[in-house]
Amino acid sequence: METITKQSPQGCNNICPTPPPLPGPAMNCRRKGSATKGNSCASTATRDLWDNLFDRGYRADVTIRTNDGGIIYAHAGVLGMASPVLRGMLKQAKGVGHKRLISIHGVQHDAVRVFIRFLYSSCYEQGEMKELVLPLLVLSHAFVVPQLKRICERQLENSLLTLDNVVDVFQLSLLCDAPRLVLLTHRMILRNIKAVSATEGWIAMKRSHPALEKEILESMIYEEQMEKERIRKLNERKIYLQLYEAMEALVHICRDGCRTIGPCDKDLKDDQKPCTYEACKGIELLVRHFAGCKLRVPGGCIHCKRMWQLLELHSRLCADSGSCRVPLCR
């Protein structure tokens, strides 16, 4: 700004102010005097203010009923701004005076409390997350709180996914529209199918969702077939490379000569440079055997058969058989 005010109006078009720095990652939002608790970048005073508002229920106008008769007090303004689903529930809620009553069932009371607290301060304790990550994933999806949902997915991906809970996480990720988590858990199940199939989660899934178990087993068979196909193609490629090297070595021996073997009109020198063809030594031994083999019975010698196959393959691939030095190429 100082640069602009000091210049004349005529020079403003030639001088551009320095652009602001690009925004950094979320962890850079901490400023001097701020502190973190759990996973929050808010200042200590701001975080404590929202936590106290939730913990003390000061002028709370919403009562939330949970499983086992639990009750949580909250504020309609906070809930409505944090979740569109809760906003709709509050519009339809009935109550006495300014108090409104809603119910959240299906998960334990502690999970609902951690969930509502997150709506206030975006904070959570790592111990609570480790214990309640699955119900929090369900709540964040059901009440459309994408920030908490991403946190739950990331926690599961990084450290909380185990062989004991991978089947439960796989089923929940299907229900909660978490495709990346579906892929990770599915791969983990396939890699450890023997150990996973002995867990309680697999046994429960087998009883309640036999079709899902069938899909997993079918996908495992498909993965095995794909792996066999991949290995087959790798072996084919290896054979093609070996044949290519053999063809190159055969042409090299018949055209240039190599060490102790070569065309009759070529002088071989003892101080010749080492051969760069890896298959040359094997082809040399095969040519020498082919030239001196005395086996003349039906079916022939297996080594001679191999030499005939190389000569035939070369003749099919050779583009200039008129000048080619390889025997029998024409």
Query: Mapping DSSP to helix (H, G, I), strand (E, B) and coil, where does residue 69 land?
Result: helix
Q: CA quadruple 43, 45, 46, 48: dihedral positive or negative?
A: positive
- How is residue 99 written in tokens? 């108090």
Containing 64, the helix (H) or strand (E) segment is: strand 62-65
Q: Is residue 246 part of a domain?
A: yes
Task: Supply the pLDDT for residue 288.
Answer: 82
| Neighbouring C-alpha atoms within 13 Å toward the C-beta of 322 | 0
**Residue that finishes a domain, picked among 82, 108, 143:** 143
Q: Is residue 60 part of a domain?
A: yes
pLDDT at residue 30 is higher than 60: no
**Residue that finishes a domain, picked among 143, 173, 192:** 143
Q: How high does pLDDT run on average in the chain?
A: 81
Q: Is residue 174 part of a domain?
A: no
Domain that includes residue 57, residue range: 43-126+138-143
What phi and psi values does residue 269 have, to the nearest 5 degrees? Answer: -105, 145
Tell which wins on pLDDT, 4 or 320.
Answer: 320
- How is residue 27 written in tokens? 């962890």
Per residue in 269-322, pLDDT (tens digit) is 666 666 777 788 888 888 888 878 877 555 678 888 888 888 888 888 888 877
Containing 73, the helix (H) or strand (E) segment is: strand 71-74
Query: What percent of the chain clears pLDDT 90, i.e. is strictly above it?
Result: 38
Q: Is residue 329 part of a domain?
A: no
pLDDT at residue 12 is higher than 50: no
Task: Supply the pLDDT for residue 266.
Answer: 66
Per residue in 182-219, pLDDT (tens digit) is 999 999 999 999 999 999 999 999 999 899 889 888 98
Distances (CA, A) of 92 to 34, 58, 79: 40, 23, 14
Task: Supply the pLDDT for residue 33.
Answer: 37
Q: Is residue 55 part of a domain?
A: yes
Q: Is residue 32 part of a domain?
A: no
The pLDDT of 69-73, averaged and rounded, is 90
pLDDT at residue 233 is higher than 60: yes
The pLDDT of 29-53, averaged and rounded, is 60
Task: Supply the pLDDT for residue 47.
Answer: 79
Task: Supply the pLDDT for residue 49.
Answer: 86
Task: Provide DSSP, 183-211.
Answer: HHHHHHHHHTHHHHTTSHHHHHHHHH-HH
CATH number, domain of 88, equals: 3.30.710.10
Distances (CA, A) of 20 to 14, 17, 32, 38: 19, 9, 20, 30
Indicate the pLDDT class of residue 42, thresholds 50, 70 and 90.
low
- Which residues contact residue 119 at a Cβ distance below 8 angstroms, ignoring those fewer than 6 apart? 78, 79, 82, 83, 145
Amino acid sitting at position 110? D
pLDDT at residue 36 is higher than 60: no
Query: What percent of the chain clears pLDDT 70, i.e. is strictly above it?
Result: 80
DSSP conformation class of 157: I
Whether 166 contacts 194, CB under 8 Å: no
Query: Mapping DSSP to helix (H, G, I), strand (E, B) and coil, where does residue 74 land?
Result: strand
Task: Supply the pLDDT for residue 21.
Answer: 53
Tell which wins on pLDDT, 39 or 5.
Answer: 39
**Residue that finishes a domain, picked among 117, 143, 169:** 143
User: Number of folded domains in the chain?
Assistant: 2
Task: Supply the pLDDT for residue 297.
Answer: 55
Distances (CA, A) of 168 to 185, 217, 228: 9, 16, 30
**Model confidence, pTM:** 0.62
Task: Supply the pLDDT for residue 301.
Answer: 84
Query: Mapping DSSP to helix (H, G, I), strand (E, B) and coil, where does residue 94 land?
Result: strand
Q: Is residue 100 part of a domain?
A: yes
Q: CA quadruple 284, 286, 290, 294: dihedral positive or negative?
A: positive
What phi and psi values does residue 212 have, to the nearest 5 degrees? Answer: -70, -40
pLDDT at residue 4 is higher than 50: no
Tell which wins on pLDDT, 255 or 98.
Answer: 255
Q: Please provide the distance, in angstroms rounded to a whole number, between the alpha carbons at the two ends of the chain.
A: 84
Closest CA to 55 of 73, 76, 35: 73
CATH number, domain of 269, equals: 1.20.1020.10
Q: Which residues pair with 72 in a beta bridge?
A: 64
Task: Supply the pLDDT for residue 277.
Answer: 78
The pLDDT of 109-127, averaged and rounded, is 91
pLDDT at residue 245 is higher than 80: yes
Per residue in 72-115, pLDDT (tens digit) is 999 999 999 999 999 999 988 876 666 889 999 999 999 999 99
Distance, C-alpha 30 to centroid of its chain:
30
Containing 100, the helix (H) or strand (E) segment is: strand 100-103
Q: Is residue 33 part of a domain?
A: no
The pLDDT of 117-142, averaged and rounded, is 92
- How is residue 155 written in tokens? 């926690």
